[in-house]
Amino acid sequence: MVIAGLGDSGVLTAIKLAKHADVVGISAKPGLVSGQELGWRLSRPGDWARHNWISFDKFRGLDRVRTVHGMLTGVDLAARKVFLEHSDGTAGAESYDALVISTGVTNGFWRRPDLQSDEEIAAGLRAAHERLADAESVIVVGGGAAAVSSAANVARTWPAKRVGLYFPGERALAHHHDRVWEQVRGRLIEFGVELHPGHRAVIPDSFDGSEITSAPVQFSTGQLEATADAVLWATGRVRPNTDWLPAELLDENGFVRVTPELRVPDHPGVFAIGDVAATDPLRTSARNRADSLLVKNILAESAGRSLRSFRPAHRRWGSVLGIQPDGLEVFAPNGRPFRFPSWSFERVLMALVVRRGIYRGVRENRPLS
Ligand SMILES: Cc1cc2nc3c(=O)[nH]c(=O)nc-3n(C[C@H](O)[C@H](O)[C@H](O)COP(=O)(O)OP(=O)(O)OC[C@H]3O[C@@H](n4cnc5c(N)ncnc54)[C@H](O)[C@@H]3O)c2cc1C
């Protein structure tokens, strides 16, 4: 079995599948570099990295998986083979009986598909942190969880900075339940974030979101331009990492077409999961943990048994602000918050629920000193 892309969904799928089959995981990074918790990552990168940047050899569940550090470049669906460029520049290929496509999406400067070494990942984390640390004023453009969590965490970590959050609607977090915004809005105000609803920023044509900028921000909604030392663009313009796949597998927006069973139509043995998979409008199979269902379906297909369907949630849910001094707040799809007190975050949530329960054992990890 080949897992193409070892991010949040690929790692979980590989861990589960390795109990039943020989698994090869191919990844542009030498470890899991999670796309989650942008605000925490920018404001406290060392702490974030301990929980969210984990080299593959730290996962006990991946001990049986052969991980390959390389960039996928193509697939031959008839011959059941993927092609890649290894980190040393040589070309390679891997054959599969089943292929899981989990190459995720590109988003801003924090989720890039490029082939990177540990040193390059560390340098990127430090550079973004230092850029914000040095700025006296910060503008965050966007109204989703990445923008909101960035504004909140930057303002809380550096109370002397002027932090403004600019978003187009009357409220931010439009894909979450109303109750989530009500609660999070209160925290933003408490941390001193200036809220600017009704501001739709003009995204320059040539700009792909891959850097923190400093030019004035213009608005198509009529307001005067806004300026700050650092402008963080988190406008949710995601691009699927599917350049290596043939067009016949993709929908009109470049995401991988899937059936409710997470199969790629007309291609037995090919599946997709995570942000790259066109499961539902919000593409929620990663956060709704479809990896268990996917593994069952891969095994069922090869045994000729019937497959089960993924049921997407219609609203975004989960943590928005990440861990704070008073604990971690997680919102259910109905907007109700559940708070883990701060004492329980390391000892219960991360140690037992995440590292042991979700990842089946993670060795001590401190990648960014
Ligand atoms: C346990 C869990 C909890 C979550 N909690 C929340 C939450 O609270 N709130 C929330 O909003 N969301 C949450 N999410 C969801 C999260 O926001 C994203 O949906 C998730 O990070 C997407 O995972 P992915 O595997 O699809 O993509 P990614 O994690 O981006 O993985 C894709 C990987 O493929 C690699 N890649 C890309 N192209 C290539 C190529 N050509 N060759 C080789 N490698 C390539 C990338 O470098 C990357 O490593 C959660 C997800 C999980 C699994």
List pLDDT tens digits, range 44-95: 999 999 999 999 999 999 999 999 999 999 999 999 999 999 999 999 999 9
CB contact at 8 A, 339 and 323: no
Which amino acid belongs to residue 158?
W
Q: How many Å lie between the centroid of ligand 1 and the Cα of residue 206?
A: 26
What pTM was estimated for this model as a whole?
Answer: 0.94
CB contact at 8 A, 152 and 39: yes
User: Which ligand 1 atom sits nearest the alpha carbon of residue 73?
Assistant: 41
Q: Which residues form the pocket of ligand 1, taking CB atoms under 6 Å from any ligand atom? A: 5-10, 12, 26-29, 34-36, 71-72, 102-104, 111, 113, 145, 241, 244, 274-276, 286-287, 316, 318-319, 358
Q: How many Å lie between the centroid of ligand 1 and the Cα of residue 32?
A: 9
User: Which ligand 1 atom sits nearest the alpha carbon of residue 7?
Assistant: 31
pLDDT of residue 287: 87
368: confidence class by pLDDT, cuts 50, 70, 90: confident
Please write the tens of the pLDDT for every residue from 258-301.
Answer: 999 999 999 999 999 999 999 999 899 998 999 999 999 999 99
pLDDT of residue 64: 97
pLDDT of residue 314: 80
Position 304 pLDDT exceeds 90: yes
Q: How many Å lie between the centroid of ligand 1 and the Cα of residue 274?
A: 6
User: Which ligand 1 atom sits nearest the alpha carbon of residue 34?
Assistant: 29
How many CB atoms neighbour CB 68 within 10 A? 17
Mutate to test the pocket of ligand 1, among 32, 36, 180, 273 (most ligand atoms within 8 A of CB): 36
pLDDT of residue 210: 85
Position 369 pLDDT exceeds 80: no
Q: How many Å lie between the centroid of ligand 1 and the Cα of residue 9?
A: 6
Mutate to test the pocket of ligand 1, among 287, 289, 330 (most ligand atoms within 8 A of CB): 287
pLDDT of residue 286: 94
pLDDT of residue 10: 98
What are all long-range contacts of 205-211, with beta carbons under 8 Å and residues at least 24 apart?
207/233, 209/107, 209/108, 209/109, 209/233, 209/235, 209/237, 210/108, 210/109, 210/112, 211/109
pLDDT of residue 204: 83
Mutate to test the pocket of ligand 1, among 2, 3, 6, 8 (most ligand atoms within 8 A of CB): 8
Q: How many Å lie between the centroid of ligand 1 and the Cα of residue 103?
A: 8
CB contact at 8 A, 274 and 238: no
160: confidence class by pLDDT, cuts 50, 70, 90: very high
Ligand 1, atom 15, lies closest to the CA of 287
pLDDT of residue 126: 97
241: confidence class by pLDDT, cuts 50, 70, 90: very high
Mean pLDDT of the chain: 95
Q: What CA–CA distances, in Å, run from 259 to 13, 277, 326? A: 18, 10, 42
Ligand 1, atom 49, lies closest to the CA of 7
pLDDT of residue 79: 98
Q: How many Å lie between the centroid of ligand 1 and the Cα of residue 111?
A: 9
C-alpha angle 206/101/91, rounded to 5°? 80
Ligand 1, atom 50, lies closest to the CA of 287
